[in-house]
Structure 1
Amino acid sequence: MPRPKYFTPNEVSLHNTPGDLWVSYLGKVYNLTPLAEEYKGDVLLKPILECAGKDITHWFDPKTKDILTHTDPLTGCVKYYTPRGRFVHVPPPFPTTDWANDFGKPWWQDSRYEVGLLSAKTRWIRIINTLTSQEQKLEVCSEETLEEILQRYLLYNSHAKSYTWKHNGFDLDMSKTLSENGIPDEDEEFYKTRLDCDRFSQSVCLYFNDDLTEF
């Protein structure tokens, strides 16, 4: 199985329209654009549209992985807890014959919408091209390997694979994360000492190899 892709909360937040609708919950990222298209114009889509690009983990019970429930004080029945209003695939609060329940799995249990994992902790690094002296600041996922970070950096340098990646003069293992390569995440330390992490983020230096490979 291929390794899942990690996303930063900022990346998820960019997908915030009915035609490009992502959400995250319980540590995973979902593309609900097909769901929005299927239920276009349905009032039950409104709570989901209002949370486009956001994390909705608070909608769920982390133990059951299902929508939170509560006991209705009037009927004593257990119902889904939807303070923003009932949404797609949530059954009505009373028996009815006009609710179509032949959709299969509810969207929050349907793995077809899953596109990756939400990073538990992001960090900023500076990538310095020693050949051109160009510097690029990137927000990356702490779980990503250097090879995955390289894929992000290809947007700024299509020849990134033609460089040796180093930190403090030592070659980096591209199959390992920044922390596994001995590049610590110092955000908490900066917070305690009130230093600007934007000014003191860790740097990775790229040294040009002989071959210029295009990607």
Structure 2
Amino acid sequence: MRRPKYFTPTEVSLHNTLDDLWVSYLGKVYDLTPLVNEFKGDVLLKPIIECAGKDISHWFDPKKKDILTHIDPLTGCLKYYTPRGRFVHIPPPCPRTDWANDFGRPWWRGNRYEVGLLSAKTRWIRIINTLTSEEQKLEVCSEETLDEILQRYLRYNSHAASYTWKHNHVTLDMSKTLCENGIFDEDENFYQCRLDRDLFTESICLYFNDDLTEF
């Protein structure tokens, strides 16, 4: 099976317009642009639009994978808890004949809008091209393999696959993650020692193989 794509919170935050609206919740990333287009002009989109590009996990009960609920103090009934206001597919507080409930699954259930996973921890690495001496600093997902990091780097060098990737003169296994290759995330140690992690960013050196592979 094809591995799901991982996204950094920064990447999700870039999708924050009506024509390109993403959110993340409970560790997954969703493209809600089709939902926005379907309900264009509906006031019930407002809470979703306000959170475009953001993580909305706090809207959900992580165990039930559903919107948080509470007991309405006026009616004593169990209802969805929506402090930002009612949004698409949330029923009205009182029974109404003009509310259509034949939409099937609400948008937050299932994987209809899912585009990938949100990284639990991102990290920065430096990629140094030993042929040209050019250096790029990339924010990557800790869950990504070196092959997937290579895909991120292609925007800077379309021949990235024509290089041997090494760390401390050891050839890296491109099918494994940074940690699996012995490049550990030491952010916590830097924090405890009050060190600036930006001064100790791990580097990967690229050595040209002379085969001009291009994606």
**TM-score, structure 2 as length reference:** 0.99
Task: Give structure 1 stretches of 5+ with no counterpart.
Answer: none
Question: Could you tell me which residue of structure 1 aligns to residue 82 of structure 2?
Answer: 82
Partner of 1:199: 199
**Partner residue in 2 for 1:121:** 121
Kindly state the Cα deviation for residue 194 of structure 1 after the two structures are TM-superposed.
Answer: 1.8
Using the TM superposition, give the Cα deviation of residue 46 of structure 1 relative to its aligned residue in structure 2, in angstroms.
0.1
Cα offsets for 1:71-124 (capped at 9, x unmatched): 011111000000000000000111111001111110000311000000000000
Amino acid in the other structure paired with 1:135: E
Q: Considering only aligned residues, what root-mean-square deviation do their CA atoms show, in Å?
A: 0.7
Matches of 1:30 and 1:153, distance apart in 2: 24
Aligned to 1:105: 105
One-letter amino acid of the structure 2 residue matched with residue 187 of structure 1: D
1:23 corresponds in structure 2 to: 23
- Read off the aligned partner of 1:145 and give its amino acid letter: T
In percent, how many aligned pairs have the same letter? 83
Deviates more, 1:187-196 or 1:201-210: 187-196
* Structure 2 counterpart of 1:157: 157
Give me the whole-angstrom Cα distance separating, in 2, the residues matched to 1:158 and 1:75: 62
**CA distance, structure 2, for counterparts of residue 204 and residue 191 of structure 1:** 23
Give the superposition deviation at 1:207.
0.4
Aligned equivalents of 1:156, 1:187: Cα separation in 2: 26
1:172 aligned residue: 172
**Local SS of the residue matching 1:73:** coil
Deviations 1:125-178 (A, max 9, x none): 000000000000000000000000000000100000000000000000000000
> Which blocks of at least 5 consecutive residues in structure 2 are unaligned?
none
**Which stretches of structure 1, 4 residues or more, deviate above 6 A after TM superposition?**
none
TM-score, normalisation: structure 1: 0.99
- C-alpha deviation, 1:192, in angstroms: 1.5
Pairwise CA distance, 1:199: 1.9
Q: After TM superposition, give the deviation of residue 210 of structure 1 in Å.
A: 2.4
Task: Tell me the amino acid that sits aligned with residue 109 of structure 2.
Answer: Q
Instruction: Read off the aligned partner of 1:162 and give its amino acid letter.
Output: S
Q: Compute the displacement of 1:35 (Å).
A: 0.4
